[in-house]
Amino acid sequence: MYRYRNRQSALGRERVEEFEASRDSVRTLEAFARDQQEVDQLPSQVEDASGEGGVRGILKVTRLLKQIRQLLRGGGPGQ
C-alpha cells in the first residue's frame, strides 16, 4: 500500500511538472507571436516616420530604432 501511494504521488508530481512546462511553452509562443507582430509593423511605421519632416519625424525614427534594438535582443517593447 505504501509503495502504491508513493507511486501515485510521483505520478502526480510528474503531471504537475509537465503541465508547468507546457504552460511555459505557451507563454513563450505567445511572446514570440507578439514580437513577430511588432516586427511585421515596423516597416510601415518606419516609412510613415521617414515621410515626416522635422523634429517630430526624427523623434519617431529614434523611437522605432530603440524598439528594433529591443526586439533584436529578444524582448518586446514592454519588457
Tell me what pLDDT residue 54 has.
81
| pLDDT confidence of residue 76 | 56
Report domain extents, the chain: 2-73
Which residues, including other chains, have CB under 8 Å from residue 13's CB and lie 6 or more apart? none
Confidence check: pLDDT of 15 > 60: yes
Which residue from 56, 55, 54, 78 is spatially nearest to 66, judged by alpha carbons?
Answer: 78
Average pLDDT over residues 7-33: 92
